[in-house]
Chain A
């Protein structure tokens, strides 16, 4: 079982949090903070597993994470998950994000956390891995987006236009300001599927 999935940046700002067990908002924030603390002080070239489930559940749990450019992707899992399998899953997740957002960067996650949730929901459901095939995930996401568009129809058009104008007029949101792209090319990954 996956107990929680967290994404935060190099400064510990949460970009996505998904808990598969109930915690109060305060506890959630504390977990995010402590996880960030644990993960951020680790060097780049050390292993991606952290033991000691003082955060969530018992000692059975592990943190498995990957660091891409400005973002940490952290999965908290119990012993029924394969460590290397989860690492691959994180990779699949990031690659899927990359495909859905076309060169994903931290800004995409910041402004479209709902979409990230939707993508995640196609991969992991209630803490269990639902799908590991990226093409399948992308297909489902595309189909849902299409549905969304068709529902918005005419009524949605003005809103989209306004939103586009808003983005245009606000100079403080250039896409690549001090936020590097998430590099998703990870060498040494044992192929999983």
Chain B
């Protein structure tokens, strides 16, 4: 055996190792592929050997080849073999190769489950490490389900190296197996406060990723993150948290208000650009969420813009780029603040870095206004000319169009100018956005009626010079504009000055070189044009001209009939035959123009892109139902009446309509549209003008028909008209100003093109009315269109599955699958268990157990496969039997309770924002705040009910009940955000639905004219001898409160925790300053020796008030009252564990009775739960058992019975003094407030 190994390693010396392979490939540059295939053959041979070292060597070579693009999935099984080597060296190679090539589709991946589980529990932390790293790359839903529990155990591993990897990989597990999120979340949250900063950072990382997808579920963590943000010094963590807040603020504006100050401080203080940038970003997000710009936030905007300007002016291109990026976010809500930096942004357009230029372009988009649009576009046009590289030029082109067309052409004051710009853009060579320009031309010509005449003249010019544009034949090339030009000239042919010339231009033989779809439009519109020319000629009585034009079409059309493009062919031959027929009629002297015109009659209106989607579903129409009974039979001819609805719809938008129908239909629709327009703020109302009537062709009547024998265009194309408009516009504006001053009329400035300068447009001026009214026709929507924008999220989004409410208490059936044969030995830690059990077992024992289990597992490997499938159902069943044996670590138990507490604090935490002012009436705030919460509560309850219904079959009855009490408790907590004196609005309805008044634990500590202090005392979950006092300081003066110092006189028993090195007489400085009418919260920690007695401590707050008149030192004395209640920690307890506890006989008993109680039992329990930190164990009618635990581990059990207007409370506790004091406090609460 030993000999074999030695021999193996000697053989190995002469195998190619990775270095040899690489070297070989480099030496075979010419026949690399051949060499590699040779190597692969060798590798295959090596993989067949028994020696694991040889195999590992082969696998590492494969991993290298994978990088070069070779598929190595055929070796998946060998990779697993190497993974399972006992040597770290080989294991690491195996996992590396696996991470490079395994994925969900790898079939052998299911074989790895046990190997990975074994590695995860390996005593060597690096074995565990590589397994976690590898798993993070190829985890599948099956692996995630099977290993979730093992990984969760690792989250509490003793080595931070493992902990942080385990925490991080949980994100992948959640993604693949969303059911694990809720059970694992409490522990994940716990890791946010891990002593190791790496673990903490990993937890922040995971929660940020989760929250980014479904932020609303993580709102309740805001206070915790807030604390981390103000305490952490790790920039990575800070950046992540700040980014997270950016995602949360849109959901909760109050959070934003709270964030502004610390973020502003960070912006001022940090030296790390990355952090500064993220802070600015989040401040921007906050400001966006506070859409109603509060006056005091303009300072924040200014600060952001200032800082961004510094970034943009920096020589580092990266900062410049990011500065512009952030600037564009501000732009959306606060365009004015950005507009003042127009100079800087225009300057960036000249930057040599294309990314920066593009960013600057984005910014320009939002910076335009009616005033500066022309100017900005002019600058862009200059850049278009200068730009080298078609990509950037195309980008400029699209930006120009975007800028001009944004929000329904809102900023365009002169459409003639815009058309000129579009025409100028057609001169761009090599652009791929011809279709964009074309679409704009069409859109403007259709929607802005007043511009049609001008547009038509420009388009006619384009058509005449079509050969210049036709050079660019590539897809989406500039020739696309000819499509638009031809259509516009045809559709609005009555505006044409020289229709014959245009018609000829459209039928030139060169046209046949254009793409098919353009030719088709040419042919069709030649028909339209012909109709209008014909009509004119007939009206003029010029038969000769009419026949001439007919003859011309008959001559020219055949070239299209032979076209290779079907569409062109079809249209051409159709029109050709029609015209031949017309010719016959003409020969007989029959007037035909009317009928020919009728072919093309009808008005085209733009239809909104979403119109079809918005057609409301008629009542009773079920689109999913079979229309016919027999789906197999094809019945083509029965027309369902419902179908007609759509049929009609289609007809309506069809281009060619029957003329008779038209009149009615049009009139009706015109009415509808008028009404719609009347209600539409974007519609610029026009005074009635004869021009509006489309069918009134009188405009063209008097145009003399000119014989044209020139084939050369008379006009030079593309004269840059736009510049002239710019000048013109300035003059016009000046003029208007003067006019306005003269007339002092209040009239709104009528938009654009009101006056034209004859000198500039000699060609088109004669027949154009002097005044243009511009109406931008709104896009049509079907009647009764549904207003909702139901852009549903992608149903395939993998993150959607993680949209899970984390605040709901865990249901009993929610736990990570544990292999069934282990259920009784080890349970997943999220299950809450009896305190008695907990005491008896220590976490260290657990580790040992786990080892045993592993052995066990190996033996039963074969069995496992079978049992796996049944895991879920078995778990559900086992669960009921299991509770007695369940153990749990104390921390996780506390954690599981924490979320609810946290959630309940959120509203108070938030409502307490700096914006809250003294002048604001308190009750008002309560109302506002409590409303959403109440509805939220209702929702939760409803949801819960539904869920329970669904699951009820699985639930045992008992559990069911427990669930409900928990839920009640939780709902109570949620409400507590305001004060006690809330109205006792008890309803007579069933108990469960009874609304609970809002409650708060914060009570007044002290108050003077400068400052008000409210405080709440809670036991520290982490440390049994500590309590945390949260104090809210509210500035009640008009001055600025600075250098606040909080100090108390320590007693022997109770001491304020001070920073190291300070004496017991020093105060603790409050870590913030308070501007007028702002409040903020600070926490102070106290250590306790004994907690059985309530205690009072005297303290003083000293501070400096700074007002305009100067500053003065002030102080405020207070008495801090530590009640016994404040030492209690809400701890859930199962009824069986509770019973055991009572039976144990270790507890002392004491009772009280309170008379004159008028509130409902439900409310009573809520109060005890809330004010005294109890949880309901079980409740039967008007009797309930409750449980709580002190920070030092005393069990406190209560039995509360409600009689007629009296309540008796029996308590049991390890310490009778504590119990007595607590009951006294309880009595006080009940008498006081009832």
Contact = CB atoms under 8 A, between A and B. Distances in A.
Interface of A: 1, 14, 16-18, 20, 22, 24-26, 28-29, 43, 45-51, 80, 82-85, 87-88, 110-111, 113-114, 117-118, 121, 125-133, 136, 140, 143-144, 147-148, 151-152, 155-156, 158-159, 162-163, 166-167, 170, 172-173, 188, 190-193
A118 B318 contact: no
**Nearest 3 interchain pairs by C-beta:** A126-B136, A84-B274, A22-B103
Nearest to B101: A25
B512 interface: no
Contact of A113 (B67, B198, B274): B67
A132 B239 CA distance: 13
Given A22-B103, A151-B88, A82 B13 contact: no
Given A51-B355, A128-B171, A128-B205, A114 B60 contact: yes
Nearest to A165: B13
A144 B126 contact: yes
B377 to A, nearest CB: 24
B243 A158 contact: no
B164 A130 contact: yes
A39 B531 CA distance: 57
B9 A47 contact: no
Contact of B168 (A80, A84, A126, A162): A126
B184 interface: no
A190 B208 contact: no
B1102 interface: no
Contacts of A152: 89
A131 B209 CA distance: 16
Contact of A47 (B12, B93, B353): B353
A1 B71 CA distance: 26
B133 A125 contact: yes
Given A25-B66, A83-B318, A192 B278 contact: no
Interface in B350-372: 352-356
Contacts of A167: 19
A110 B22 CA distance: 7
Interface string B181-220: 0000000000000000010011001101100100000000
Interface residues of B, number: 81
A132 B169 CA distance: 17
Nearest to A188: B316
Interface string B593-620: 0000000000000000000000000000
Contacts of A82: 239, 243, 274, 277-278
Nearest to A33: B69
A35 to B, nearest CB: 14
Nearest to A139: B161
Contacts of A85: 235-236, 239, 274
Nearest to A79: B212
B70 A25 contact: yes
15 contacts: A22-B104, A80-B208, A80-B212, A113-B67, A114-B93, A126-B136, A130-B165, A131-B198, A144-B88, A151-B89, A152-B89, A155-B53, A158-B9, A172-B26, A190-B272
B17 interface: yes
A128 B14 CA distance: 40
A28 B69 CA distance: 7
B341 interface: no
Given A16-B67, A143-B126, A155-B5, A129 B205 contact: yes
A47 B89 contact: no
A147 B356 CA distance: 49
B407 interface: no
Contacts, number: 181
B320 interface: yes
A126 B209 contact: no
A84 B13 contact: no
Contact of B355 (A24, A47, A151, A156): A47
Contacts of B136: 125-127
A43 B389 CA distance: 15
A179 to B, nearest CB: 11
A192 B320 CA distance: 18
A190 B274 contact: yes
B96 interface: yes
Contacts of A1: 209
Contacts of A130: 164-165, 168, 198, 202
B429 interface: no
B267 interface: no
- Among A14, A25, A125, A163, the one with the most B-chain Cβ atoms within 10 Å of its Cβ is A125
Given A25-B69, A126-B169, A132-B236, 16 more contacts: A18-B100, A49-B318, A87-B318, A113-B64, A117-B96, A125-B133, A125-B169, A126-B172, A128-B168, A130-B198, A132-B201, A147-B89, A156-B9, A190-B271, A190-B273, A190-B274
A121 B273 contact: no
Contacts of B60: 114
B507 to A, nearest CB: 43
Contacts of B918: none
A132 to B, nearest CB: 5
A37 to B, nearest CB: 13
B132 interface: yes
Contact of B243 (A46, A80, A121, A128): A80
B88 A148 contact: yes
B322 interface: yes
Contact of A46 (B22, B88, B205, B317): B317
B271 A191 contact: yes
- Among A46, A143, A151, A193, the one with the most B-chain Cβ atoms within 10 Å of its Cβ is A46
B208 A158 contact: no
A179 B1027 CA distance: 63
Interface string B220-250: 0000000000000011100100010000000
Given A46-B352, A148-B89, A126 B137 contact: yes
A130 B781 CA distance: 53
A129 B168 CA distance: 9
A46 B278 contact: no
A114 B64 CA distance: 8
B68 interface: yes
A114 B69 CA distance: 16
Nearest to B175: A126
B848 interface: no
Interface in B296-336: 316-318, 320-322
A25 B19 CA distance: 22
A191 B272 contact: yes
Nearest to A32: B69
B891 interface: no
B92 interface: yes
B942 interface: no
A125 B132 contact: yes
A84 B322 contact: yes
A118 B126 CA distance: 12
A51 B359 CA distance: 10
B20 A47 contact: no
B18 interface: yes
Contacts of B322: 49, 83-84
B87 A114 contact: no
Contacts of B206: 128
Contacts of B924: none
B743 interface: no
A20 B236 CA distance: 21
A188 B53 CA distance: 46
B18 A114 contact: yes
Nearest to A84: B274
A162 B13 CA distance: 6
A66 to B, nearest CB: 10
- Among A80, A152, A172, the one with the most B-chain Cβ atoms within 10 Å of its Cβ is A80
- Among A22, A113, A130, A133, the one with the most B-chain Cβ atoms within 10 Å of its Cβ is A130
B576 interface: no
Contacts of B137: 20, 126
B18 to A, nearest CB: 7
B27 interface: yes
Contacts of B212: 80
